[in-house]
Structure 1
Amino acid sequence: MKITIIGGGHLGFALAKVLAKKQPVTVWECSPTRQKEILKKIGLNKNITVETDLKKAAQKSNVIIFAVCSNVLEKIFYKVLKYSTGRVVFMIGSKGIHPSGQTFYEIFTRVTKRPILILSGPSYAGELSRGLPTAVVLAGKNKKALKQTEKIFAGTALRIFPSSDPIGVSLAGCLKNVAALGTGVLDHLHLGENVKAWYLVGVMQEIKKIVRVLDGKGETLEFLAGWGDLILTALGGKSRNYQFALGKLKKKEKVTLEGYENLKAVYGLIKEEEIRAPLLESLYEIFYKKAKPENLVEALRGER
């Protein structure tokens, strides 16, 4: 079986290390700097091959895992779709939604009959790459593909829980990054811990509304892809979105800020679907309209 990971960033490299304990893995990476970093990290691990040619990486692959930023996912996916041959399962590890407000699962399943699976859940890449126990959700409609792909992780540090709700899992993975901006805002205001618990309960209710309106399952959010990922991302302190909202990171530092980048699409979605989500709306106003950070607290109190 040929397994290819598209993207050699933190997530891609972590998945490669996990999978390479059992079988050979190919990692495609176009950045020369990142290529050197990967080669330095893998050392004598002969099960990891770094490929710079996307066509060669995609050809004859049985499982292709996408671990690139969501803002380039669509472009790269279509190229890989053209280059891939035979029976192949596509696994999406990127967190985000399309600018149109649709999930990438919905968009990609319209252009190919090959199985599309969504990988998401509470997982710091650094801990995963060190072999620390981690559990995530793998969602899709094709039961055979789910079972086949689950097997490649068997016996590794990454425990896979299957789900039949790819839309709900996709949205949860995107929205937890957006929600993490809120805990960063609250810590920026030095308001303590109590208010963050209040905020997380409130923002989860808004996330549930969005998931249900878009035909996802509310119960999906009660497990790893929902509450599990939200707690880790919003309260763990390591999220780049949290650090950006806190003021420790600047947008010009060229770091991936999936929550910030997807906030605009999320705002457009709740407006189009007429979903009442004052907390998420206030985040959009703070980060895109330069509203005062205190607006989030006002929304929490029901004053907006």
Structure 2
Amino acid sequence: MDKIAILGSGSWGTALGKLLAEKGNNVFIWGRNINVINDININKENSKYLKNIKLPENLNATSNIEEALKNTSIVILAVTSQSNRETLNKIKNFIDESTIIVNVSKGLEIGTNKRTSEIVQEILPNNKFVSLSGPSHAEEVAVNMPTTIVSASKSSEAMIRVQELFIKTSVRVYTNSDVTGVELAGAFKNIIALGIGIIDGLGFGDNTKAAMMTRGLVEIVRLSVELGADVSTFFGLAGMGDLIVTCTSPHSRNRRAGILIGKGYTLDEVKTEINMVVEGINATKIAYELSKKLEIDMPIVNEMYKVIFENREIKSAIANLMNRDKKHENEELINIKIV
């Protein structure tokens, strides 16, 4: 069996650690919070991030990153997307080129707008990279609810190895060679989930949410295809699948953050209340900037950016969207290039 290092001791890293340890692998979770580390090692629980879940005996934790990485064949990045560069720089002297890097966070780097695969290519150019994505809340994976995810890589060998590593009776894993699409879908669907939360916070109903999900998907497809993604990825697990679960689940922090915005909370108040990274806020800013740079029409993203970062009244933003020029529904899809 493999020795696997999971970098990040949050709910998702812990749930994946439980899954992999139950399959007989030797799993080490690395994290900075010594209380969480002790809880995992002594009590076999992570009561801070994943309550009421008993962890296997062969799942251990450490605050020493070198210890976690020793003799590791696979490293799983389970920190926030904004921490990936720092974490990769920490590990680059402790792993060899045969180690597969698996990213499970969903976001782009602020400032550079880079995907994690691009950051890995900069720092660890000889290591194979896999993006593991799809509709997969930690709280459900941890209790073995049926879940389907996707393993995406340019390396057939790496994506199949990761597929085999994670697959079990309760987890079905598909493969996909469109790394760009999988990463962008995972990042940009958070924008739409944030918008769904705003709608809920306003007290609007299912009609409004269905419109937001449908037209929001059109927008993120339009931008992502321009950035090199395959359109078909957005109708699979990493696209539509993850969009649905993030927009509808009470587990979704992006949706919860949107609800607070819809109720009138300021951005600072939202961040304080959620007390975890809300990737949809970062993704909205990045998508807005990219849409302007590439001259991509993204009216929902534009209005959400104005609401979140420029204090536009939400009702004014909705009025702007509803009163746009008349269009044929499919005319904007015709010009999306198939790659």
- Counterpart-to-counterpart distance in 2, 1:183 and 1:154: 31
Q: 1:175, 1:259 within 8 Å by CA — same for their partners in 2?
A: yes
CA deviations 1:2-45 (Å, max 9, x no partner) are: 11111010100000111111122111111123223434344672
Q: Which amino acid aligns with 1:6?
A: L
CA deviations 1:137-162 (Å, max 9, x no partner) are: 11110001111221112325222110
The answer to whether structure 1 residue 250 and structure 2 residue 270 are counterparts is yes
Map 1:159-174 to 2 at 5 A. 159-174=172-187
Q: 2:6, 2:75 within 8 Å by CA — same for their partners in 1?
A: yes
- Counterpart-to-counterpart distance in 1, 2:169 and 2:85: 29
Q: Which residue of 2 aligns with 1:229?
A: 242
Q: Which residue of 2 aligns with 1:53?
A: 64
- Counterpart-to-counterpart distance in 1, 2:106 and 2:119: 14
Give 1:262 deviation, angstroms: 2.7
Moved more, 247-256 or 270-279: 247-256
Select 2:37's aligned residue among 35, 38, 42: 35
Give 1:299 deviation, angstroms: 4.4
Q: Which residue of 1 aligns with 2:116?
A: 104
The change in CA–CA distance for 1:287 and 1:141 in structure 2 (over 3 A counts) is same
Q: Which amino acid aligns with 1:187?
A: D
Give 1:184 deviation, angstroms: 1.1
The change in CA–CA distance for 1:133 and 1:180 in structure 2 (over 3 A counts) is same
- Counterpart-to-counterpart distance in 1, 2:177 and 2:320: 34
Q: 1:19, 1:156 within 8 Å by CA — same for their partners in 2?
A: no
Give 1:46 deviation, angstroms: 1.9
Over aligned residues, Cα RMSD in angstroms?
Answer: 1.8
**Taking every aligned residue pair, what percent have the same amino acid on both sides?**
31
Q: 2:97, 2:127 within 8 Å by CA — same for their partners in 1?
A: no
Select 1:271's aligned residue among 292, 298, 303: 292
The change in CA–CA distance for 1:241 and 1:154 in structure 2 (over 3 A counts) is closer
- For the residue of structure 1 that corresponds to 2:79, the secondary structure is coil
- Counterpart-to-counterpart distance in 1, 2:37 and 2:254: 25
Give 1:82 deviation, angstroms: 2.4
- Counterpart-to-counterpart distance in 2, 1:44 and 1:98: 32
Q: Which residue of 2 aligns with 1:127?
A: 140
Map 1:1-304 to 2 at 5 A. 1-22=2-23, 23-39=25-41, 40-42=43-45, 45-99=56-110, 100-111=112-123, 112-247=125-260, 250-253=270-273, 254-303=275-324
- For the residue of structure 1 that corresponds to 2:6, the secondary structure is strand
> Which of 1 and 2 has higher RCO (CA within 8 Å, sep 6+)?
1
Give me the TM-score of the superposition, normalised by structure 1.
0.94
Q: Which runs of 5+ in 1 are unaligned?
A: none
- Counterpart-to-counterpart distance in 1, 2:323 and 2:151: 36
The change in CA–CA distance for 1:299 and 1:60 in structure 2 (over 3 A counts) is farther
Q: 1:26, 1:49 within 8 Å by CA — same for their partners in 2?
A: yes
Q: 2:62, 2:68 within 8 Å by CA — same for their partners in 1?
A: yes
Aligned length: 304
Give 1:134 deviation, angstroms: 0.8
- For the residue of structure 1 that corresponds to 2:311, the secondary structure is coil
Q: 1:97, 1:103 within 8 Å by CA — same for their partners in 2?
A: yes
Q: 2:192, 2:212 within 8 Å by CA — same for their partners in 1?
A: no
Give 1:302 deviation, angstroms: 4.5
- For the residue of structure 1 that corresponds to 2:82, the secondary structure is helix
Q: Which residue of 1 aligns with 2:331?
A: none
Moved more, 165-174 or 151-160: 151-160
